Structure 1
Amino acid sequence: MTVTFNGARLLDGRLVDVTVTGGVISAVTPAGEVPTIGDHIELDGHVMIPGLWDRHTHFTQWAHASRRVQLGDAQSAADAAAMLAAHADAHPDGDVVGVGFRDALWPDVPHFELLDEALDHGEVGDSGEQRRVVAISADLHTVWLNSAALRAHGFYEHPSGVLRERDAFAVIDALDEVPEKTVDGWAHEAAEAAAARGVVGVVDFEWGFAPADWQRRFAAGFDELRVAAAFYPERFDDALALGVGGGEALDTSGLLTLGPLKVITDGSLNTRTAYLREPYAGDAGRSRGQLTVPPEELTALLRRAVQAGQTAAVHAIGDHAVSHALDAFAITGARGSVEHAQLVLPEDLPRFAQLGVTASVQPEHAMDDRDIAERYWGARSRHAFPLRGLLDAGAALAFGSDAPVAPLDPWLAIVSAVFRSRGDREPWHDEQSISLEQAVQASVRSSIAVGQPADLVVLGADPRQADAVALRSQPVVATMVAGRFSYDAIR
């Protein structure tokens, strides 16, 4: 099948006709210069860009998130407990699961007793069982449980009910034990919503073993997005058993590939476990955070990835963790990315380009975390989310959301990178802002050129003319993946 988009406006201002044949761009010519072949769609100057990617998601978590109690507006532990209690009153049975709280700036401290009291000391549901309550932090590195949930997850005498890092990951993973058919249906819905925002692909860092989950979904007909399904060290042998290298196809659709080995080397800012060279400021004591994978172990993992033909994605948020990650790439010659890179020492900026390591970053986190960074990183926050610094040093940027930490919507990352502000607040370290064109480039994996995948997005308004408010809700009228419409509001 051949289809031509007539009169597409590119971000560089050119007005062109774009022809797609068999999932590939077969021609890009000045508008009206060549007679149209096959079907055609008149764009009349609508802006066209390459398909957008979210380079860091936890897709199943994102699919779950809208079905859980939203705690993002909670200004205290007491607020969050009241929200969870209100949900429990309205839904008289089953576990109560909340998501999105940020406790770093709360005036009070989360504790299992607060949840117990809010739910009337272990209220029972219609089933006669004690209600279990779990609240998941926005950064996914902390969970807060009531007494019943602590017991259910094997923590019988925990002093606070607040679990961090690996204990938290284990609880979150256990919460995802939903029937496959159900969660796969939610994944379809989430993918359709992403396509409506111009998304053509995601890198999925879901816990468990994402490659198998996605093989099941694609076998059942999933085709809304391209997916690079990552894996964790605990499942390295399972990844090798697939018999493919990093970036290679996992099925016959051409849409599913094996993603990178994901290694989490430190914690997060909100949890105050991101690993720093100097101690946290504020009331975090003299802690420097947690290095959860020591340098020698990280080097061994990356060396194994190289030997197996796999790429690597190393989670590193604190400046010291970023340095260790770059050291491991330098020692092993591994290919891949540093995920998050939220606080980067100036001397480490040029190392990304020198080593060919991508800075996989989530600009919307800067808007979520600016006040937390100011409190706990103090003057160091001028080195936080250094997008301009990374670009000027020659680094390749790849934008993502870390959904559900931020919504799976690339336009939020783009607007945060360009304007460094949200709402009516002043820009935060706007010396680190980048241009719209650079932000879009960090959000795509292809271009509008002959031979490129026909992954295309048609916009309903020109983003070059948009202010920060308009760009956050940038209209999308069509999304095409491999030459097939995944979202179509233009015809």
Structure 2
Amino acid sequence: MNNIILASVRQPGEDTVSDLHIVDGVVSRISAGGRIPGDARVVSLDGRYVIPGLWDEHVHMTQWALHSNRPDLSAAASAQEAAAAVGLHVHDADLSVTTVGVGFRDALWPDVPTLEMLDAATGNQPTALISHDLHCVWLNSAASRRYGVGVDAGGLLREEPAFALTRELGTLPDSVVDSWVRDAARAAAARGIVGIVDFEMTWNRDVWQRRIAGGFNALRVDAGVYPEDLERAHHDGMRTGMELDGGLGRLRAGPLKVLIDGSLNTRTAFCVDPYPDGGHGLLTVSFDDLVSLLRRAHEYGFVPAVHAIGDGANQMALDAFEHTGIGGRIEHAQFVRTEDLARFGPLGVTASVQPVHALDDRDAAESNWGGRTRRAFPLRSLLDAGATLALGSDAPVAPLDPWAAMSAASTRSRQDGRGPWHPQECISRGQALAASARGRRRIGVGDRADLVVLDADPLASPDAEFAAMPVAATLLAGRFTHDGGLA
């Protein structure tokens, strides 16, 4: 029997200390101290604060691990600057290995990417640059030839062609990628993460089963499924919530992910009103096809998770949920018509949102959704209308750090002196914590001992401290996955 006591802890907002007794991965008792069972391991926490374990509800885990080991172009302020930056990495590069840069943001660049520009910077070294939102890849001629992908004078691939090439660029030896994923998971655990919903764009079950068989144990993983694999998943008897790791409790089948529009950065998010260039974005699934997918997902036992960024896409997704009478999730919900906000709750649709995007995309939103951004990233409005929020990062689009997400949700600003963006859409710290812990607000007897130990009270800390919250330890079913020297 695994018997551990976290001695002298407080829950947020409390002054009194208690002892948390954990038996076989479950909180069995919360006491004011006193008798210690003889077989118990005692870890004294000296009055630190304990909260429920945190989840990131939207991650592309392999892409995040790859991103962490590739040249970062997020600081490039122009296409020319991005090309020059990656050019520094190719001088001594191996021509047999493609140079892959990540994180560029072209929505507000004063110039436009061109094939000629990237060729001039990189020469014969095959080079591919993946945008921060994963919806665009900028290739040079050598990479275009290597992968047999035709590009125009801009050298850009968008949406599905970009996704397909991104998957191919991630084809590295399993041992390399799995090692990077373990490192990324340990870093996530050090920020209080106990679980992720992984929407990697591939057949993900076998990948995670291999990793867990190889010793991966830092996080719980809900592995998403995409429509092209739905029949395969159904044939294998999978359904959302089903354990896939032989009872270890670390891998479950996640939702069915359906993309119906693009992104703001590429101006492909589908919107009711036109962009400055006159376009409305892109719908990648028709209403009838979406309805069919929702029904099939429901029949097979999968919770549908619909990617919708533009207000037109969110309207269509909600219409489809209402038409079928099926609940689920909308991933992103970045731009929502006022009349649609109150539909989420009654329809049983969770808004799976990424608050850091509001800070990253505020200038692009003002440029492309000018005069309408009061309803961009409408977290407070969604909550007030009865919606359930689930917070995440969309890593690598934003860092896999729940405190950055919760800080963005509760302040609508960075700790850089720039004022908050539409502060009326801030939510409280308590609401942000609950939306990051699958609704758990406090630790109670009978709870699974997925816990985070903090050096400060998250409800009372200054904003800057909250955004960079010091995490002393993280536990998964009573086992330390991050130990800052306490155990």
Paired letter, 1:79: E
**1:371 corresponds to:** 363
**1:350 corresponds to:** 342
Matched, 1:183 2:185: no
Q: Which of 265, 270, 273 lines up with 2:265 in the alignment?
A: 270
Q: Which of 437, 461, 464 lines up with 2:456 in the alignment?
A: 461
The CA deviation string for residues 376-415 of structure 1, in whole angstroms up to 9 with x for no partner, is 0011111011110011111111000000000111011000
**1:17 corresponds to:** 19
How much has 1:225 moved relative to structure 2? Answer: 0.4
What 5-or-longer segments of structure 2 have no aligned partner?
none
Check conservation: 1:112, 1:160, Cα contact below 8 A. Answer: yes
**2:114 corresponds to:** 111
How much has 1:346 moved relative to structure 2? Answer: 1.4
**1:228 corresponds to:** 222
Paired letter, 2:478: G
Matched, 1:478 2:470: no
Matched residue SS, 1:313: strand
Check conservation: 2:329, 2:350, Cα contact below 8 A. Answer: yes
Check conservation: 1:305, 1:334, Cα contact below 8 A. Answer: no
Matched, 1:259 2:254: yes
How much has 1:241 moved relative to structure 2? Answer: 2.8
Matched, 1:5 2:16: no
Check conservation: 1:266, 1:274, Cα contact below 8 A. Answer: yes
The CA deviation string for residues 199-255 of structure 1, in whole angstroms up to 9 with x for no partner, is 000000001111111111112221110000001001112211331321110112111
Comparing 400-409 with 214-223, greater Cα deviation is found at 214-223
**1:127 corresponds to:** none
Paired letter, 2:424: E
**1:152 corresponds to:** 146
Q: Where do residues 164-243 of structure 1 align in structure 2 (5 Å cutoff)? A: 164-243=158-237
Measured in 2, the distance between the counterparts of 1:387 and 1:471 equals 19
Measured in 2, the distance between the counterparts of 1:61 and 1:344 equals 28
Measured in 1, the distance between the counterparts of 2:231 and 2:17 equals 50
Check conservation: 2:151, 2:157, Cα contact below 8 A. Answer: no
Comparing 197-206 with 148-157, greater Cα deviation is found at 148-157
Measured in 1, the distance between the counterparts of 2:418 and 2:226 equals 38
**2:306 corresponds to:** 314
Check conservation: 1:202, 1:228, Cα contact below 8 A. Answer: yes
Change in Cα spacing, 1:4 to 1:243, as seen in structure 2 (3 Å) is: same
How much has 1:67 moved relative to structure 2? Answer: 1.3
Check conservation: 2:355, 2:406, Cα contact below 8 A. Answer: yes
**1:442 corresponds to:** 435
Q: Which of 8, 25, 28 lines up with 1:26 in the alignment?
A: 28
**1:36 corresponds to:** 36
The structure 1 segments of at least 4 consecutive aligned residues displaced by more than 3 Å after TM superposition are 90-93
Comparing 38-47 with 406-415, greater Cα deviation is found at 38-47
**2:68 corresponds to:** 66
How much has 1:348 moved relative to structure 2? Answer: 1.0
Comparing 364-373 with 461-470, greater Cα deviation is found at 461-470
How much has 1:154 moved relative to structure 2? Answer: 2.3
Matched, 1:359 2:362: no
Matched, 1:424 2:417: yes
Paired letter, 2:371: A
What 5-or-longer segments of structure 1 have no aligned partner?
124-130
Percent of residue pairs identical: 52
Check conservation: 1:138, 1:405, Cα contact below 8 A. Answer: yes
Measured in 2, the distance between the counterparts of 1:286 and 1:269 equals 14
How much has 1:92 moved relative to structure 2? Answer: 4.9
**1:327 corresponds to:** 319
How much has 1:90 moved relative to structure 2? Answer: 4.9
Paired letter, 2:433: V
Measured in 2, the distance between the counterparts of 1:296 and 1:89 equals 51
Measured in 2, the distance between the counterparts of 1:16 and 1:349 equals 41
Paired letter, 1:105: L
Measured in 2, the distance between the counterparts of 1:16 and 1:305 equals 45
Q: CA RMSD of the aligned region, Å? A: 1.3
Measured in 2, the distance between the counterparts of 1:136 and 1:428 equals 27
Measured in 1, the distance between the counterparts of 2:13 and 2:339 equals 33
Q: Which of 76, 90, 107 lines up with 2:78 in the alignment?
A: 76
**1:390 corresponds to:** 382
Q: Which of 323, 328, 331 lines up with 1:339 in the alignment?
A: 331
